[in-house]
Copies of this chain bind each other. A is one copy, B any other.
Amino acid sequence: MQQDVRLPLEGLQHAVAIDVLLHGPLSRKQLAARLGVSPGTLTRVAGPLLEAGLLVERALVQRSSSGRPGIGRPEEPLDLELGRDFYVGVKITENTLHCVVTTLRAQLVTEISRSLASLEPSAVADQITDVVGELSEEGRNIRALGVSLGGQVSRNSLVLEAPLLGWSDVDLGALLKDRMDLPVVVDNDVLSLVRAERWFGAAKDSDHFALITIGAGIGYGLVAGSGILEGPDPGLSTITHFPLGIGGGVCSQGHTGCAESLLTTKALLSRARLALDENVTHDELLALADTNPAAASIVETAAYGLGKLIASVANLALPEKIILTGDGVDLALANREALDRGISDHRNRRATPIDLEIQTVSFAEWARGAAATAIETFVVGR
């Protein structure tokens, strides 16, 4: 007999829904093959999901199955209805709220920013509430909210420590739940970005990858195994003070030549000030490197050190793929040769080359990560 649809979905129904969510429109045939069940079973499972409106049938397509194209009955791809439910992601920085609305598949729909009037937790919660209200005004059905920030977060709600915001032990999740009738999840910003990559981004088909962010800080996230984000101290960037032994700068905690002292935007600019005797921006420094040897030396040294860091991650965490992202990635893009040299100098010559993907990332991407976390928590489940 045909089973009814009960939420949350369980068993095969759940597996079918998730596979469609993560891997785009799929025909029953394809789904049956992917999930290792018979076509008959898949028909039975998909039936109720279609009836309940959770899945929809898209236009028929002829599969050009290796050989002559389009013969036989066309496939009937099953897909999610993306125009109905939406998710909000908010990334909190020291002075701005970056907000996005996404579909269930974490595709960007709208993005807006708001200057933060105050860093006082309840004021921030008020402002987030206002923005969510605004975003749902246009008749959009918002299903969940994800919030991310730089810092350690416990139980998807409690901000243990957020140095840039000056928070410790702030239960932002509770503040938000008091203000709106919406499932809310709060998480570390880098981990949110990892989740977005894991489910909807460049690492969709990899279950073992690392993500490094450079910019104001150095972030690190690792995925190994079935969608599990690892680490006993989630949100504590254990890579920040990784000893690179290059450059000789001193970081905020007194380490000489650590990643923070070499790679953060602040570190780059303070070196530039010393060497060039003028204040420049990050972009100006990179541009200047084409003509000014002192500037070139600074950025090349940093890119080389970044390569060493990437090689160390590859050597010790053994990922299939490494994603490099963050505001500071231009450093890597503009000095690819020094970066690659840093990698190969610290990598066994017999090792397989690193699958390194460098992504430019906007603030909307960070906010999208927060939305992806909400989707993972409340839809993908488990």
| A contacts, CB < 8 Å to B | 152, 161, 207-208, 220, 222, 224-226, 228, 230-233, 236, 238-243, 245, 308, 312-318, 320, 346-348, 350-352
* Shortest distance from the beta carbon of A163 to any chain B beta carbon, whole Å: 11
Q: Which single residue of chain B is at the shortest CB-CB distance from A316?
A: B316
What would 4 more interface pairs be, CB under 8 Å, given A226-B226, A231-B318? A224-B224, A230-B318, A236-B348, A243-B245
Question: Which of B161, B220, B226, B242 is in CB contact (< 8 Å) with A225?
Answer: B226
- Cβ of A238 and Cβ of B316 under 8 Å apart? yes
Contacts of A225 in B (CB 8 A): 207-208, 224-226, 228
In Å, the complex CA distance between A316 and B316 comes to 6
Contacts of A208 in B (CB 8 A): 224-225, 230
* Shortest distance from the beta carbon of A183 to any chain B beta carbon, whole Å: 27
* Shortest distance from the beta carbon of A234 to any chain B beta carbon, whole Å: 9
In Å, the complex CA distance between A263 and B318 comes to 22
* Shortest distance from the beta carbon of A81 to any chain B beta carbon, whole Å: 33
Could you give 21 example pairs across A and B, Cβ below 8 Å? A152-B350, A161-B350, A208-B230, A222-B316, A222-B317, A224-B225, A224-B230, A231-B318, A232-B351, A233-B352, A236-B350, A238-B315, A238-B347, A239-B315, A241-B348, A242-B312, A243-B308, A312-B312, A316-B317, A317-B317, A317-B318
- Chain A to chain B: the 10 pairs with minimum beta-carbon distance, closest first: A225-B225, A224-B224, A238-B315, A245-B245, A231-B318, A316-B316, A230-B318, A232-B352, A317-B317, A233-B351
Question: Which of B222, B239, B245, B348 is in CB contact (< 8 Å) with A238?
Answer: B348
Contacts of A318 in B (CB 8 A): 222, 230-232, 238, 317
In Å, the complex CA distance between A241 and B345 comes to 10
* Shortest distance from the beta carbon of A258 to any chain B beta carbon, whole Å: 9
Contacts of A352 in B (CB 8 A): 232-233
In Å, the complex CA distance between A245 and B256 comes to 12
Contacts of A242 in B (CB 8 A): 312, 315-316
* Shortest distance from the beta carbon of A288 to any chain B beta carbon, whole Å: 30
Q: Assess A232 versus B320: contact at CB under 8 Å? Given A243-B308, A243-B346.
A: yes
Q: Assess A348 versus B240: contact at CB under 8 Å? Given A222-B317, A224-B225, A316-B316.
A: yes
